[in-house]
Amino acid sequence: MEGWATVMGRHDETEVLIGPIPSKLERILVPLLDPGEPVHVKLKGGFKEALICTDSRVIILKTGLNTGLMFGSNAWQSRYSAITSAEVHYHGISGYLELTAGGVAESRKTFVGKNSAEHAPNCVSLLARHDLNVWRKIASMILDRAEQARHPVASAAPAGDDLACAIERLWRLHNEGALSAEEFATAKARLIGG
């Protein structure tokens, strides 16, 4: 969707959103994806962790000793409609992206130990400060997708002034990157009844 492509503000920087992840995580990801499910974000975390965003869900993959998994791996998944917060925390030399969804408690993470971001299934560790703005923008896009999933555009065609207001609202969502040009055209046609 176009909203992911413009997360950096310019179309020519989309490569930033798709990066290499550890081969073991790539092998775990492939069977998790539905056939034809597009991946818009695929970024490696600080350790053997990865954040993956598709049209319908967010996946966090983890493996390795630093993530508390000596053997095996962990795949945390959530539909956008269930996500209630996406926050980036940074503390001098490290940080983390934390996603909260129904039934997942948000808690302050420590630098090391069992309550660290590396060990939490709903967090991705961040070690490079230069990537911080990218992670913050992705967190914002995840929240936008979550809001859009919880409050889809009404399919009933409003009348008169209500129609103009509904189209104006769609246009604002399109300009903010929450709707792609194709989604805007489809929703507008649905509103108009064509």
pLDDT per position as a tens digit, 59-68? 999 887 665 5
Q: Which residue has the higher pLDDT, 182 or 98?
A: 98
Greater pLDDT, 192 or 152: 192
Distance spanning both ends of the chain, measured CA to CA? 23
pLDDT at 24 over 60: yes
At 9 the pLDDT is 46
Q: What gap in Å lies between CA 126 and CA 129, rounded to an integer?
A: 8
Q: What is the pLDDT averaged over residues 110-125?
A: 72
Structure tokens at 60: 């966090």
Residue 10: which pLDDT band, with cuts at 50, 70 and 90? very low
Name residues whose C-beta falls within 8 Å of residue 128's C-beta, 6 or more positions apart in sequence. 46
- The side-by-side arrangement of strands in the sheet containing 39-44 is 39-44, 49-54, 57-64, 69-79
Contacts of 69 (CB under 8 A, 6+ apart): 62, 63
Quote the pLDDT of residue 1.
41
> Contact, 46 vs 69, CB < 8 A?
no
At 142, the amino acid letter reads I
What residues does 97 pair with on adjacent strands? Answer: 88, 124
Q: How far apart are CA 28 and CA 18, in angstroms?
A: 17
| Helix intervals (H) in the chain | 2-5, 23-32, 132-150, 161-175, 181-192
Distance CA 108, CA 105 (A): 10
Provide the 3-class DSSP secondary structure of residue 106: coil
